[in-house]
Structures are given as structure tokens and as C-alpha cells.
Amino acid sequence: MDHPESVRAWALMLGAHFVWRPLGDLYESVRTGTSGFSRLYRERFFEWMNTHPEDGAVFNNAMTSGWARRLPAVLAAYDFSCFERIVDVGGRHSALLAGILTAIPNVLGVLYDLPNVVTGAEALRASSAFCDRANSLPYVCDRRPG
């Protein structure tokens, strides 16, 4: 279950009602040009994830799973050290950004996501150099090295 190459979180999400029901309604979405999710659930996807925390946890776990396996390849493929600040838009729980900031300690990092999502940014929150700038930049958590 906790193996870095596990696809359990993805399997749980792909089997979840909030994924397969809208996919099953794809014909109607194409025909009408409207979101199947919104039509079926009467809320937009991320609103639903916020108001239904169990479904949100399934989605968040899938989105953040596997970074331990992929991060070395990302760091080997791209040199992030030439930047002063890296902004991870939609970075969910900060797995990618935390890995970059750990590998490149002189870079500043900003995690930009929904408020209910950045509260789960444990990889950054565990660092003593983490601060939340939500008052000046909505939905942003900013971690400064050192």
C-alpha cells in the first residue's frame, strides 16, 4: 500500500463514482456541450471535492501519488537552480515542489492551489521554513529556504 510504485490511489480514484459516472455520461456532454459532472452532481468538480472531503481525499491521494518514483527523473531532466522562485500552480499537496526545494535549497517556492488543498501540503509544512501568505496572495503557501 505504501510502496512508491503503487497505483492503488489511482485505482481507487478511477473506480470512484465521481470519475466513472461523468465518463458514462460522455455522450450527453458531447451532445450538449455541458459538463457531465456538473449536470450529474449539480456542482463543479472542485467544489464537489471541497464539500465532499472523502471524495476529495481519494482525488488528492491519486494526484499526489507516485512522486517519489518520478521526482529523480524530473530533477535529472531539468535544472531548476537557474531560478530564484518556482511557482507550482495546482501543486496539490506539494510533493513536486518540496522535492525541488529539497534538491535546490537556495530557490524560493510558491504552492498555488485551492485553500482546502494547500492545507494538506505536509511536505512543505514539515519544513521549519514554511510560511502561509494566504492574506496577500489568495490560495498561496510560500516556503522560504533556510
Whether 3 maps to a domain, the answer reads no
Structural domains of the chain, count: 2
Amino acid 92: pLDDT = 73
Whether 135 maps to a domain, the answer reads yes
Shared-domain flag, residues 72 and 134: yes
Shared-domain flag, residues 89 and 139: yes
For 74, left (φ over 0), alpha (ψ -120 to 50), or beta?
alpha
Shared-domain flag, residues 24 and 79: no
Shared-domain flag, residues 73 and 122: yes
* pLDDT value at 6 more than 90: no
- Tell me the pLDDT tens digit for each residue of 65-108: 877 778 889 999 999 989 888 888 877 767 788 788 888 877 77
Which of 135, 130, 132 shows the shortest CA–CA distance to 146? 130
- Tell me the pLDDT tens digit for each residue of 114-132: 776 776 666 565 554 444 3
SS3 content of the chain, % helix, strand, coil (to 5): 55, 10, 35
More confident residue, 90 or 10: 10
Shared-domain flag, residues 60 and 71: no
CATH number for the domain harbouring residue 127: 3.40.50.150
Q: What is the pTM of this model?
A: 0.67
pLDDT band of residue 111 (cuts 50, 70, 90) is confident
Shared-domain flag, residues 133 and 73: yes
Domain, as residue range, for 87: 67-143
- Tell me the pLDDT tens digit for each residue of 15-63: 999 999 999 999 999 999 999 999 999 999 989 998 999 999 899 888 8
Shared-domain flag, residues 126 and 58: no
Whether 1 maps to a domain, the answer reads no
Amino acid 121: pLDDT = 67
Whether 2 maps to a domain, the answer reads no
